[in-house]
A and B are shown apart, each in its own frame.
Chain A
Amino acid sequence: MTASVTRATRTSTIGVVVVAIALVALALGPYWAGRDGMRLLIEAYTYLVLASLWNLLAGYAGLVSVGQQAFVGLGGYVLFALATLAGVPPLLCIPLAGIIAAIVAIPVAAITFRLRGAYFAIGSWVVAEVFRLGFSQVAALGGGSGTSLPAAIVQGMAANRTAREHLVYWVALGLMVAILGLIVALLRSRYGLALTALRDNEVAARSNGVDVERTKLVVFIFAAACTAMAGSLIFLQKLRITPDAGFSVNDWTALVIFITVIGGIGRFEGPFVGVVVFFLLRETLSDLGSIYLMILGAIAILIMLKAPRGLWGFLAERTDAQVLPLQRRVVARGK
C-alpha cells in the first residue's frame, strides 16, 4: 500500500467548476447588471479582496491588524497624487500604488512587529492614524478637506461614461481575480504550508523549521501591496478622497473584520460567505443606520463566541467541504 498527498476532494472538484461558471457570468456583468448593480458588484469585489487579505494576515499569519486602512488610504492617495500631480494614467497608478505600499510596508513592519499579539493590533492602528494626520498636512492634496480627480483625467480614461464604467468594472473584477489567485497560489506554495502550520500552532511550526518572522513579513508586505491596489480602485470609483474617508477604521477595518469573522476566519472560503451575508444584511437593514452597525457587531461577537471558525468553518467541519483544493491530506491507496 502506498500513500500520497493530495489537495483535491469531491467538493473541491465541483467547487472549481462552479467558480469557473460564476466567473464567466461576472465577466459579462456590464451586459446584465445595470449601473447600480455594477456599482454594488465592484463594492463586493473590493470588500472580498480586503477581507481575504485581512483573513490571510489575522487568520493565517497571526497578525491581527486593526490598521489596514493605512494601506487603503495610501493606495487612494497615491492614485490621486500620481494622476493629478504627475499626469500618470489612473489605471497605471493602481500597480504603482501596490509597489509603493510594499516599500512603505517594510519600515512599518520593522516597527510594529516589535509589538506582540493584541498590542500589534493597536500599534498598526497608530500607524494608520499617522498616515491620516500626515496626509491632512499635505496642502497639494487638499489637506484635511481632501481632493477630487479632475474631470479631464476622468474623461481621458475612456471614450464615454458607459465605456469608462465598463472599464472600471472589468479592472475591479480582474484585480479581484488576480489577488485571490495570488492568495491561492501563496496558500498552495511552501509559504502556504508554513502559514497553515503557523495558523494551527506557532510553537510547533517554529520547532519544525518554519521561519516565523520571515513568513509573517512576506505576508504583511503582500497584504499591504494588494490592500493599496484595492484602495486605489475604491477611490478611482469614488473620484474623491479625504483623509477621514481614506483612512477610515470603520469602513476599511471594522466592516472587513466583521465580514471575515462572520464568514469564517482562517478559511479561504470564509470571506466569500461573509461578503454575501454582509450585503444581504446591509440591503435589508441599512435604513436602521447606527442600529444596523450595532446588530453587525453583535452578530460578530455571537459568532466569535459560539462558532469561532465562522459560518463556513461551522459548515466545513461538519461536512469536510472545501471549494478550492487547498487543504493537504494523506490518501492511502491499495496496490
Chain B
Amino acid sequence: MNWVNTILQGVLVGGLYAMFAAGLSLIFGVMKLVNIAHGDLIVLAAYVALIVTDGLGLNPIASLLVVVPVMAVIGYCLQRGLLNRTMGDDILPPLLVTFGLSVILQNGLLELFSADSRRLQAGALETASLQLADGLSLGVLPLIQFGLAVAIIAGLHWMFYHTALGRSFRAVSDDPRVAQLMGLNNRHVFALAMALSLAIVAVAGVFLAVRTNFDPATGPARLIFGFEAVIIGGLSSLWGTLLGGILLGVVQAAGAELDPGWQVLAGHVAFLAVLAFRPQGLLSRASR
C-alpha cells in the first residue's frame, strides 16, 4: 500500500511538472525559443501570488484571477520589447539573453524578498483529502492541480487545431516568412505565444508555492524538471509532455522512497536513460 501511495503522489506531482513543461514546449514549438529564464518566471509568478494573497487577502486559487493576467501581460511585453529582437537563425542570442534574464530575475527577487523561504497558505484546502482506502488518501489540492494540468494540455491541443490563434501559431512555426506574407504579424503572434506560456507559468507558480517552500534560487530546478518532462515525453507531442511529467514525478517519488537524497537524482537519471535509449522521447516518432 505504501508503494501505491508513493506512485499516486508521484503521478499528481507529475501534473505540476507537465505545467512547467507545457509553457516551455509551447514557445519552443511556435518560435524555436528555449527560455532559460522559464523556471525563474515560475518563481516570479509565485512571488506575485504571494503579494496578491497578502495584499488582497485572497486565497491562492482565487489569486489566479489576478496572477494569470499579470504574468500574461509580462510575457507579451517581454517578447515584444526584448526577445523578438533575438529571433533569427542564430541560437546564441535568445539563449544568452534569456540566460542573462534568469540571473537578473534571481538577483532581483533576492534583493526584493531576501533569501528566506516562503510558502502560500491555502487554509483548510491545504489539508483536505479524499480517503480511498486504509492508509491511502489523495489531497484535494494535488487533485485540483492534476486536473488543471490535464485541462491545460487538452486546452492547448484544442487551441492549436481548432482556433484561428492555433492556426497562426502553426503557420509561424512552419515558416515564419510565408506566414508574414499571408498577412500575419509575426512579432504579435510570438508575443501572444509568450503571453500564453506565462499564463500557464502563472498557474504552475501558484500551485508550486502552495505545495512547497520557494525562494529566489529555486527557479533553475523548475526549468530542468520542465525540460526533462518535455524530452521524456517527446518534443513534438503535447500529450507526451503530460506523460513525461507524470513519469518524472513517479520516478522522483520512488527515488525519494528509497533514499531522500535520490529524489531529484533519480529523475535526472531517468531523463538521461531516455536520452540514451529513446532520444525521440516516448510519444514521438520524429527524430530530432
Contacts and interface: CB of A to CB of B under 8 A. Distances in A.
Interface of A: 58, 62, 64, 66, 110-112, 114-119, 121-123, 125-127, 129-130, 133-134, 136-137, 249-250, 254, 257-258, 261, 265, 289-291, 293-294, 296-298, 300-301, 304-305, 308
A165 B224 CA distance: 40
Contacts of B110: 290
A1 B276 CA distance: 56
A66 B34 contact: no
A137 B261 contact: yes
Contact of A136 (B108, B261, B275): B261
23 contacts: A111-B272, A112-B275, A118-B91, A118-B95, A119-B34, A119-B288, A122-B36, A123-B275, A125-B224, A126-B268, A130-B268, A134-B265, A249-B220, A254-B99, A257-B99, A293-B103, A294-B104, A294-B111, A297-B107, A298-B100, A300-B100, A301-B97, A304-B96
Contact of B276 (A111, A254, A304): A111
Contacts of B272: 111, 126-127, 130
Contact of A133 (B85, B111, B261): B261
Interface residues of B, number: 42
Interface string B242-264: 00000000000000000001101
B20 interface: no
Contact of B103 (A115, A123, A254): A254
A114 B288 CA distance: 8
Given A115-B275, A126-B268, A301-B101, A64 B95 contact: yes
A250 B34 contact: no
Contacts of A129: 224, 264, 268
10 pairs of A and B residues whose beta carbons are closest in the complex: A118-B34, A290-B107, A297-B103, A297-B100, A301-B100, A114-B279, A133-B265, A297-B104, A117-B91, A293-B107
Nearest to B96: A304
Given A114-B288, A137-B261, A304-B96, 6 more contacts: A119-B34, A122-B224, A125-B220, A130-B265, A296-B103, A305-B86
Interface in B96-147: 96-97, 99-101, 103-104, 107-108, 110-111
B93 interface: yes
Contacts of A115: 231, 275, 288
Nearest to A258: B100
B95 A133 contact: no
Interface of B: 32-34, 36, 82, 85-86, 90-97, 99-101, 103-104, 107-108, 110-111, 220, 223-224, 227-228, 231, 261-262, 264-265, 268-269, 271-272, 275-276, 279, 288
A200 to B, nearest CB: 11
Nearest to B266: A133
Nearest to B24: A122
Nearest to B288: A116
B271 A66 contact: no
B104 A304 contact: no
Nearest to A266: B92
A265 to B, nearest CB: 7
Nearest to B235: A119
Contacts of A123: 231, 275
A294 B107 CA distance: 6
Contacts of B111: 289-291, 294
Nearest to B94: A118
B264 A64 contact: no
A121 B92 CA distance: 10
Given A114-B279, A293-B107, A294-B108, A122 B227 contact: yes
